[in-house]
Amino acid sequence: MEKIKQFVESDRGKDIFTVMIVILVGFGSFELGRLSKENSSSGIKIEYMGQEEALGENLSGNVIKAVKFAPEASSGSADNFGKNFFASSRGSKYYSLGCSGGKTIKQENRVYFATSDEAERAGYTLSASCN
Q: What is the pLDDT of residues 68-83, one digit of tens each?
A: 444 444 444 445 566 7
**3-class secondary structure, 126:** strand
> Tens of pLDDT along 14-67?
899 899 999 999 888 887 776 666 555 555 666 666 554 555 555 454 445 444
Check residue 71 and give its pLDDT.
42
